[in-house]
Amino acid sequence: MKFAILAAGEGSRLASEGVAKPKPLVELQGVPLIERLIRIFARNGASSINIIVNEQQPETVEFIKSLEVGCPINIVIKSTPSSMHSMHALSHLLRGEKFCLTTVDTLFREDEFANYIKKFEEYEGDGIMAVTDYIDDEKPLYVDTDDDMEITAFCDKPTPETHYISGGIYGLSPKALDILDRCMNDGIHRMRNFQRRLVESGMKLKAFPLGKIIDIDHAEDIIKAEEFIAER
């Protein structure tokens, strides 16, 4: 399975709040965010790890190149206006087999993630999306599911069928990339609208709950993330 990390953002909010390092190099318990993800992916059977990095962050590129994790690491250096543009810029590296993609600031428990990857490897449908009932996002994307945990809709507001929000961890089959291409051609440039298009296109997607998923958007989130990692 291929893995992908979106790390092409500018990190402007963190910088405006006094965080000097680029977001991928922000450390939690002494380990940069990008290294944490790379090593987790390598331990969970990555055939390759594919990363897009902002072209204004040469130090991030050099740091990634210094890592040895036992599988190929491919780097695309490009600044993009959105996560969806970043995914599209990586898409040529993701074709041919299942892939798991997330953003560099997504924090989760590795044991839960390992169970998610195992389930995704065994699943014969089109994809499994990590979800959580822990709401820590400023604008969460709500996920509606049926009794079998098949995703029926992605919503901006909760409905009676809503029990989870998107965790920002996407396990997808290669055919999702064809839908991504069509979205880009149609002027659809937000990840949440891409996810809606996956459902509208008839892709069979399951939801897999993780206990807690945290994003690091503000300086105060770094403190919360440190506390989360320290929990046992």
Residue 92 has pLDDT above 90, yes or no: yes
Per the structure, the complete domain to which residue 47 belongs is given by 2-230
Residue 232 has pLDDT above 70, yes or no: no
For residues 213 and 215, give the distance between their C-alpha atoms in angstroms, rounded to a whole number.
Answer: 7
**Mean pLDDT of the residues in the chain:** 94
**pLDDT tens across 200-214, in order?**
999 999 999 999 999
Residue 16 has pLDDT above 90, yes or no: no
**Residue 160 pLDDT:** 85
Indicate yes or no: pTM above 0.75.
yes
**Residue 138 pLDDT:** 76
For residues 45 and 47, give the distance between their C-alpha atoms in angstroms, rounded to a whole number.
Answer: 6
**pLDDT tens across 129-156, in order?**
999 998 877 789 999 999 999 999 999 9
Place of tokens 């008839």: 202
Q: Supply the CATH number for residue 60's domain.
A: 3.90.550.10
Residue 12 has pLDDT above 90, yes or no: no
Residue 175 has pLDDT above 80, yes or no: yes
Overall domain count for the chain: 1
Q: How far is CA 59 from the centre of its chain?
A: 22
